[in-house]
Structure 1
Amino acid sequence: MTRFADRTGPIRLGMVGGGQGALIGSVHRVAARLDGAYELVAGALSSTPDRALASAAEVGLPKDRTYTDFTEMAKREARLKDGIEAVAVVTPNHMHLPVAREFLKRGIHVICDKPLTGTLADARKLEAAAGKSDALFILTHNYTGYPLVREARARIAAGELGDIRLVQVEYAQDWLAEAPDPDNKQADWRTDPARSGAGGATGDIGTHAWNLARFVTGLRPEALAADLQSFVPGRRLDDNAHVMLRFEGGARGMLWCSQVAAGAENGLRLRVYGSGAGLEWHQENPNRLLVTPLGGPTSIVTRASGATGPESRRLTRIPPGHPEGFFEAFANIYGEAAQAIRAARTGAPLPADVTFPTIADGVEGVAFVDACVRSSRRNAAWVTL
């Protein structure tokens, strides 16, 4: 039971990072308020004091709950009777550990953007900090919140595909196909090893692809062989990766992630093939799941249709034919987190169907990046995770 066990109403949320010019901060704010489960009441939205104050004013934070330092915020909010219950950490990767640790040790739940950290050493430190805290840790691998991703997961778990043999996952973009404008804040930190970490495309979007494949199939990784490239001259981190995968039980897979694939926008795609059937899902057309039995015709399963099961329908907001997309999937992760936080208020058990990415998923994602870098340095040798 937390110090907020008697609180009712919306969950009081704080945010660190996500100020002016930060795309992911606004995405988190939209996701948090979509279902009315949270109220943003405090924030340290930038490491630059003037920008922190201006950013807070833009999103309507009161001056007495606006901070220019995350440590000060954690200390003061923990003392307040109406202090925050949870904090969204939406900083560059290298700050996830120090920020999250300050709130975890004060019993404040953490909702952290991915990847968990920039390095595997930091990931393990954060895992240890989370293990010592009574607070929850939620990682926003938002693609797991799509209803038809949950449908695919349920069908595989029910054995509808038979024994899984092949997993093909890719995430292709082109926004870093050229050297970016120096004023592009997002490109600047994401291509800087000091702030992004050991992986470029592998850390930024490769971890999403990896997590999606793991979440949907449930297969446990055994080893990988990775070939990483930096196609843009002078770039210090990978912008493209081809990864071969071996899973326990004999299944095989391939993962491709790229931020230099000219013409690709946000091409996250998953294909899974079993002994009896295969399925396919595209993030850019997320309201359709293709299911094809061996020797049979392809069925198009649409979101909210009668062909979907309870795992999918519980995350569906509107009737068939009304598209749901990125913001709704992101909000589903926040919604699952809200159920967990409300259960923690009273010590009630968490409903069995509530699922969200955890600290363990985050450590595994960073371990994936670390293994890719190690393998590529050894000329794409097979390495264990």
Structure 2
Amino acid sequence: MASLGQARVRMGMIGGGKGAFIGRVHRLAAALDGDFELVCGSFSRDAENNRRTGALCGLSEQRVHGDWQALLATEAQLPVDRRMQMLIIATPNHLHVPIARAALDAGFHVMSEKPAGVSLAETRRLAETLEGSGRLYGLAHTYLGYPMVWQARDMVREGRIGALRKIHVEYPQGWLADRPETRGVKQAAWRTDPASTGISGCMADIGTHAFGLAEFISGQRIATLCAALGIHADGRQLDDDGDVLFRTAEGASGTLIASQVCTGEENALKIRLYGEAGALEWRQMEPNSLIHRVLHAPQTILRAGIDQPGLGTEARHRLRLPGGHPEGYLEALANLYKDFAEAIRQGRSGTAEGVPGIEAGLRGMAFIEAVTANQAGESKWTELDIDPSIQGGK
């Protein structure tokens, strides 16, 4: 919770109008610990939706703007103690970079939905803008806010499973199995439209979550990959399914599966990591448990909770409740917002500690371009094209 007498960070939002799932999730998560106050927004290109969303959020008509350009221009003219301090971007992918760069140039911190953009080239330009801005940039890889994900990360770094040999990560969904974009479902329509989402569908939308989770927990970078992408729905232009073999720079091998046509699946993100001395397994739909398998010994299950034994400092930092009171998706995103608020108050720039930032954005775009290039080309293996010298500010 925000300390007594500590002013809440003033935030604005672009996108996330009524009917858009992720916008409401961001607003709820940002509000959870009392660190943020929504002061303005441009929620939808539909004027009535925009007006209604602003009213539902308790905003005056003067702080609800017709488009993102008007929001940035108007907010920048307000007195420093009234204008927003940071901007949430919850739009289709093709607007992420243009809005983020304009917001940074106008002096606002940015929290963006993922992926960072629609190409590695434009995301590099965003990194350059960030480096000269003196502001923070965060990327909403929500699953990296779960306490037991951090617990797994620390256990790998502490050598609890030994040298890492193999990583299996998968994210099956089923919501695009019957072509909802043909029935007027907006969330499906833009995600299957190259003009809005870029060169990849499924891999950009949820494959990047699996990719980010694998690199975050393992502490290793995926260096080369071999991909097979598929389109199972007639008439669809972008991948709705894919399988990836990969190798890390440190020598581990692995598989990454992402699909949005696995009939009946919900959001079944899961990861298994195998080392010389043991293994770890975490499942997003059962996020409060972390399975630890040890060579020649019974497996143990670590449980989330502020009163639970065996948890490290980073996991405990992200817990709010005693064991047996499940914390989930909203709390995970709230953890990113809590750390982002702290970094704003500390006057930090570039990347907020504990929050995926521009490096995660660059890595994600490199992954998207590598899998699509490998699918289209003749090479068995494709390297991830990423310039480590462009990482944004500190």
Please give the range of the TM-score, normalised by the shorter of the 2 chains.
over 0.9
Residues of 2 paired with 1:126 and 1:245: CA distance?
A: 27
Q: CA deviation at 1:311?
A: 1.1
Q: CA deviation at 1:320?
A: 0.6
> Secondary structure of 2:273's match?
strand
Q: CA deviation at 1:54?
A: 2.3
Q: CA deviation at 1:328?
A: 0.4
> Secondary structure of 1:267's match?
coil
Residues of 1 paired with 2:45 and 2:134: CA distance?
A: 28
Match of 2:89 in 1: 89
Aligned residue type for 1:76: T
> Secondary structure of 1:215's match?
helix
- Check whether the contact 1:226–1:380 (CA below 8 A) recurs between aligned residues: no
The percentage of aligned residue pairs carrying the same residue is: 41
Cα separation, partners in 2 of 1:23 and 1:379, compared to 1, 3 Å:
farther
Match of 2:390 in 1: none
Match of 2:392 in 1: none
1:160 paired with 2:160, answer: yes
Match of 1:233 in 2: 234
Aligned residue type for 1:367: A
Match of 2:387 in 1: none
> Secondary structure of 2:204's match?
helix
> Secondary structure of 1:281's match?
strand
Superposed structure 1 runs of 4+ greater than 6 Å apart: none
Aligned residue type for 1:97: V
Residues of 1 paired with 2:167 and 2:133: CA distance?
A: 36
TM alignment of 1:113-192, pairs within 5 A: 113-180=113-180, 181-192=182-193
TM-score by length of 2: 0.92
TM alignment of 1:305-384, pairs within 5 A: 305-344=308-347, 354-378=353-377, 381-384=380-383
Aligned residue type for 1:125: R
1:98 paired with 2:101, answer: no
Residues of 1 paired with 2:127 and 2:334: CA distance?
A: 24
Residues of 2 paired with 1:380 and 1:260: CA distance?
A: 27
Match of 1:268 in 2: 269
**More moved, 208-217 vs 113-122:** 113-122
Residues of 1 paired with 2:211 and 2:252: CA distance?
A: 15
Residues of 2 paired with 1:65 and 1:225: CA distance?
A: 48
- Check whether the contact 1:227–1:379 (CA below 8 A) recurs between aligned residues: no
Runs of 5+ unmatched residues, structure 1: 1-6
Aligned residue type for 1:92: P
Match of 2:292 in 1: 291
Runs of 5+ unmatched residues, structure 2: 385-394
Q: CA deviation at 1:49?
A: 2.8
Residues of 2 paired with 1:326 and 1:24: CA distance?
A: 11
Aligned residue type for 1:264: E
Q: CA deviation at 1:47?
A: 2.1
Aligned residue type for 2:331: E
Residues of 2 paired with 1:27 and 1:123: CA distance?
A: 25
> Secondary structure of 1:307's match?
coil
Aligned residue type for 1:203: A
- Check whether the contact 1:16–1:45 (CA below 8 A) recurs between aligned residues: yes
Q: CA deviation at 1:323?
A: 0.4
> Secondary structure of 2:183's match?
coil
Q: Deviations over 1:196-247 (max 9, x none)?
A: 1111110000000000011111101210010000011111000111001111
Match of 2:195 in 1: 194
Residues of 2 paired with 1:78 and 1:182: CA distance?
A: 40
TM alignment of 1:203-282, pairs within 5 A: 203-282=204-283
TM-score by length of 1: 0.94
> Secondary structure of 1:107's match?
coil
Residues of 1 paired with 2:241 and 2:131: CA distance?
A: 34
Q: CA deviation at 1:380?
A: 6.7
How many residue pairs are counted as aligned between the two chains? Answer: 375
- Check whether the contact 1:227–1:380 (CA below 8 A) recurs between aligned residues: no
Residues of 1 paired with 2:288 and 2:369: CA distance?
A: 33
- Check whether the contact 1:86–1:108 (CA below 8 A) recurs between aligned residues: yes
Aligned residue type for 2:346: A
Residues of 2 paired with 1:242 and 1:197: CA distance?
A: 19
Q: CA deviation at 1:183?
A: 1.6
Match of 1:41 in 2: 39
Q: CA deviation at 1:8?
A: 4.7
Q: CA deviation at 1:249?
A: 2.1
